[in-house]
Amino acid sequence: MKNALKLLWMYLTLLICGLVLITMILMLYTSVLNFVAGQEIALFNFSNFIESFFTAAIIILVLVVPFIVYYRIRHVGGAIQFIFFVVLTLITWFAFLPLTINLENAILENKQIAKSEKVLSSDYFRKTDGEIYYFLDDFNLDAPQEEVDTLVIDTDEEGEFKIQKIQPSQDFVLVKEAVPYNDILIKQTFNPTEVSTKVDLFSIVEQARVAWNKGFTFWLGFLSLGLIFACLYGFSNLFDWRLLNTCLIIFAAAAIYCVNTFYFYEPIKNAMDLFMQDKSFFVFLNKYVDNSLLCLINVVFSLIFTIIGIIRFCFRKKARGM
């Protein structure tokens, strides 16, 4: 009972501390994304706080189960601890996550949250696609009717420069190439790696929102991720050496995370969709769940993890009896 209560205490601690920490990190991250050269960086913005808070809540709720599995390695308990674990997992995925998404939807629908202006400041050279742009006035996406006088320099050997009137638009090359940043100068400064664009935790967050908003069966499909995370419980006491259990849990959780994010990398996603489009089984499943192949992979490996855990439990119980 003592270890079961410790598990509950660790669960609550992880939720609260994780929510605070991840919210702060996301607010800083969002501030960097929205930062534009020549302007002051806004470390706190109410709209950014709301967005960061709910995104952080979904992230910590998705990741809390593997963390408490990891905690159990050093605090092994009996049947009561297992019951606590099952209840906490069910509450997390069937109550807390849906409530979080519903609350987010309600706030975003009922509140007029002011968004920060999307402006590219003047007097800076911005280069992309072999051309350099120099705005003589601020390039304001919130005022698309106001054309901006812009010095455009062609960087080819025989290139020339000219002054153009450019109408602010989301389709403008500097805006498109800067995504997810507001300013391409900031993006070029941080130079995000290709790996970070393929393995993206935000893809899981977005899938959670989409699945819940589309209906219960789609949410059940997304719950396959929660199922496979929960089935790591059987690995927490698989070996006699705690270090091996720790390494196994970390490796398995990282692998699950990578598979469930890398799947949404566009070339991979397109290949999987092409594979499923002429398979009647997947065509049927796709009527009720999104990404049915990924859901199936999660469910299959959940069964494998569960069987391994049960076999290990039976062998250990038999050894103790002997």
User: Each residue of 115-125: b (16+ CB within 10 Å) or e?
Assistant: ebebbbbeeee
What is the tens place of the pLDDT at every residue in 154-163? 877 666 778 8
pLDDT average, residue stretch 2-6: 82
Evaluate if residue 105 carries a pLDDT over 60.
Answer: yes
According to DSSP, the β-strands at 148-154 and 131-135 are antiparallel
The mean pLDDT of 80-109, rounded to a whole number, is: 92
Q: Give pLDDT, residue 117.
A: 57
Average pLDDT over residues 228-245: 88
Write down the mean pLDDT value for the chain.
Answer: 84
Q: Give mean pLDDT, residues 103-129.
A: 74
Alpha-helical segments (H) within the chain? 2-34, 46-72, 79-91, 97-110, 173-178, 184-190, 194-198, 201-214, 216-230, 242-262, 266-276, 280-285, 292-321
How do the domains of the chain map onto residue ranges? 1-115, 119-181, 192-322
Torsional class of 276: left (φ above 0), alpha (ψ -120 to 50), beta (otherwise)? alpha
Residue 195 has pLDDT above 50, yes or no: no
pTM of the model: 0.81
Lowest mean pLDDT among 20-29, 32-41, 51-60: 32-41
User: Taking Cα atoms as reference points, which of 86, 69, 7 lies closest to residue 245?
Assistant: 69
pLDDT digit string (tens) for 221-233? 999 999 999 999 9
- pLDDT at position 152 is 81
